[in-house]
Structure 1
Amino acid sequence: MNATEAKGFNGSERCPRDTRVAQLLFPAAYTAVFFAGILLNTLALWVFVHIPSSSTFIVYLKNMLVADLIMTLTLPLKILSDARLGPWQLRAFVCRYSAVIFYVTMYAGIVLLGLVALDRFLKIVRPFGKFSVQKPAFAKTVSALVWTLLSLVSLPNVVLSDKAATPSSVRKCASLKGPLGLQWHQGVTYMCQVIFWTTLALMLLFYGVIAKKVYDSYRKSKSKDSRGSRKLEGKVFLVVAVFFLCFAPFHFARVPYTHSQTGSTASCRLQNQLFLAKETTLLLATTNICMDPLIYIFLCKKFTRRLLCMRGRKSTAPIQGNFTSQTENITLA
């Protein structure tokens, strides 16, 4: 980038961005994630089309799959743009459109993981009854609301990226936004932080109750199958582990990065460091498209049985005692 002094979008001197790592390492890593994601999620799609949406759990998982597939399909544009393999107009398209779609799908996936946790929690509160929130119709409605609200909140990020794109300005997506666009982007960033940390707190609460139920069921049944108990607890907390490891680092890095882009007087060196931190943690968050299929396999019995059936194998569930069978019916679906 031309290092000559010029006034940037935030009123400070334009900071040349060191793109050597972003142009070489990140596109290679995203390419690997893309191929793994397209393979795993295409397989998951193949399985889910043969499973009816007969429960809230299945509805939420199918919506997660849609989010992952859409996010996966945005990656080639990001790869080409970051690697500078396309025209500068491609970078403008990524900034204005595909990056917005990418983040909509990311936060749709985050909220849906929270809804999966809520669904498992309600399965414990009333395992044999039916609250209205445990009906597939409710799950379809709330999933549609999640998609609609996130899209409406994100739409101004498209509309307000209204500055003329040039080969120089597209190097930083924030340069395409006016003052109102920068303020909206910053506000959306804080809202996304609230969504993530609230969802994480609720997931810890829900799965804490589930873990207690697993432990109490084990004690009451006086089962000697402690290995089965640990196995079920591990499955239960798989969602929390995937959620935290994929998304928490990005949400630690995103706010200071956005603040440096939308109005702070951070030094050029700090801006570059925050950019690399944001891109590294964003890559980690993107790997969630490869992790979600693990949730389908370990927590959704219908998915696993259908997968085995499609491979020409019979699914035979071993009898592991009263504790395992009763608790598994509560924690898994």
Structure 2
Amino acid sequence: MNPEKLNITNVSTSANCSRDVTVTHIVFPILYSVIFFLGIILNFLSAWIFFKVPSNTVFIVYLKNTVVADILMTLMLPFKILTDSGIGSWRMKVFVCSFSAVIFYETMYINIILLGLIGLDRLLKIVRPFGRNRINSVSQAKRISVAVWVVIFLLSLPNMILTSHKVTAQSVRSCSQLKSPLGIKWHEAVNYICTIIFWFVFISMTLFYTVISKKVYNSYIRSKSKDKASRKKTRFKVFIVVAVFFLCFAPFHFMRLPYTFSQVGIIEDCQLKNRLYVAKETTLWIAATNVLMDPIIYVILCKPFRKLIPGFNSSTNSSLETNI
């Protein structure tokens, strides 16, 4: 076997446990390739459209940051595809472990936080549609967005630099084998921090949309005319945000903690570790589909975005109109 290639049949996870990764090295590269090609088209088109949209609302500020995060995540996929399929060299695997995979996860959590902020903005728009406050100002939204990028980057940076000095084709079979002892501890700590971030946003989104549900339901009950009923019906479209959040990110985080336990030795059963690996890879792919789901949010909820899409006529705009 060429030493520049990775063994895609069995990977040793411990002295007495080997992992059959044939399926994940064949199926998932194909699935990620689909996400990559569609994601490039949808997100660069979204970026081109948003370039023409002024940042005059909190909602648009957060959406523009989401587009940037989605583009970065999409651009990291080819490296994962090449290494997972065994096409890439072991040196590319080093790059993936030290850089592209870190950026992939970094942008994932930026997306999670931004969806939470969008959920908060939707809540404030419905609870206080004409209210003004500091947290719901455009300037504050820009500062919050910058803070999110900086904090997540600073959390991720040690994962890029705390690596082993000796890197060989044998040591690169697992990303954890490339890390220094401090790097392993930091990686474990960041996993827990990111899990806390997800669950904080998860609980917040649940609370936000519980309140939104009550407001929308009460508004629907009070509505008597057909025109009002139609307008109240469009407000249900705000639930696309929470739907994307739960569908894309919840499955992965239900699996991430037990998978982390298997990585750090808390779970030692070989068969269970292999099952957790497959479950993690499956739910990670689901999380990556977020780069395809976010453009749906732009189309359904952002009227200035829709107006710039070629082929969207006025009747379509009217039927989808949502006050942002």
Both proteins in one fold, TM over 0.5: yes
Contact residue 111 and residue 199 of structure 1 kept, 8 A: yes
Matched AA of 1:85: I
Deviation at 1:227, TM superposition (A): 6.9
Contact residue 122 and residue 238 of structure 2 kept, 8 A: no
Matched AA of 1:211: S
Contact residue 211 and residue 236 of structure 1 kept, 8 A: no
Q: Normalising by the residue count of structure 2, what TM-score does the alignment of the two structures yield?
A: 0.90
Aligned in 2, Cα 1:302/1:312: closer, same or farther, shift over 3 Å?
A: closer
Task: Give runs of aligned pairs for residues 1-333 of structure 1, distance below 5 A.
Answer: 13=15, 15-224=17-226, 228=230, 231-232=233-234, 234-264=236-266, 266-307=268-309, 310-311=310-311, 313-314=313-314, 318=318, 328-329=322-323, 333=324
Aligned in 2, Cα 1:21/1:312: closer, same or farther, shift over 3 Å?
A: closer
Quote the Cα distance in structure 1 between the aligned partners of 2:126 and 2:9: 60
Runs (5+) with no aligned partner, structure 1: none
Mean Cα deviation higher: 139-148 or 268-277: 268-277
Matched AA of 1:37: G
Quote the Cα distance in structure 1 between the aligned partners of 2:86 and 2:311: 41
Aligned in 2, Cα 1:40/1:227: closer, same or farther, shift over 3 Å?
A: farther
Contact residue 23 and residue 82 of structure 1 kept, 8 A: yes
Deviation at 1:298, TM superposition (A): 0.8
Quote the Cα distance in structure 2 between the aligned partners of 1:3 and 1:139: 48
Aligned in 2, Cα 1:80/1:218: closer, same or farther, shift over 3 Å?
A: same
Q: Which has the higher contact order (CA 8 A, sep 6+)?
A: 1
Quote the Cα distance in structure 2 between the aligned partners of 1:198 and 1:187: 16
| Partner secondary structure for residue 167 of structure 1 | coil
Deviation at 1:162, TM superposition (A): 2.4
Aligned in 2, Cα 1:317/1:278: closer, same or farther, shift over 3 Å?
A: closer
| Partner secondary structure for residue 237 of structure 1 | helix
Quote the Cα distance in structure 1 between the aligned partners of 2:58 and 2:144: 10
Mean Cα deviation higher: 96-105 or 225-234: 225-234
Contact residue 215 and residue 229 of structure 1 kept, 8 A: no
| Partner secondary structure for residue 23 of structure 2 | helix
Aligned in 2, Cα 1:243/1:312: closer, same or farther, shift over 3 Å?
A: closer
Q: Normalising by the residue count of structure 1, what TM-score does the alignment of the two structures yield?
A: 0.88
Matched AA of 1:26: F
Contact residue 8 and residue 21 of structure 2 kept, 8 A: no
Quote the Cα distance in structure 2 between the aligned partners of 1:204 and 1:312: 33
Contact residue 36 and residue 290 of structure 1 kept, 8 A: yes
Matched AA of 1:284: I
State the identity %.
52
Mean Cα deviation higher: 102-111 or 204-213: 204-213
| Partner secondary structure for residue 162 of structure 1 | coil
Contact residue 9 and residue 22 of structure 2 kept, 8 A: no
Matched AA of 1:38: I
Quote the Cα distance in structure 2 between the aligned partners of 1:91 and 1:152: 23
Quote the Cα distance in structure 1 between the aligned partners of 2:76 and 2:133: 37
Aligned in 2, Cα 1:79/1:196: closer, same or farther, shift over 3 Å?
A: same
Mean Cα deviation higher: 281-290 or 208-217: 208-217
Contact residue 81 and residue 91 of structure 1 kept, 8 A: yes
Runs (5+) with no aligned partner, structure 2: 1-6
Aligned residues: 318
| Partner secondary structure for residue 308 of structure 2 | helix
Matched AA of 1:222: K
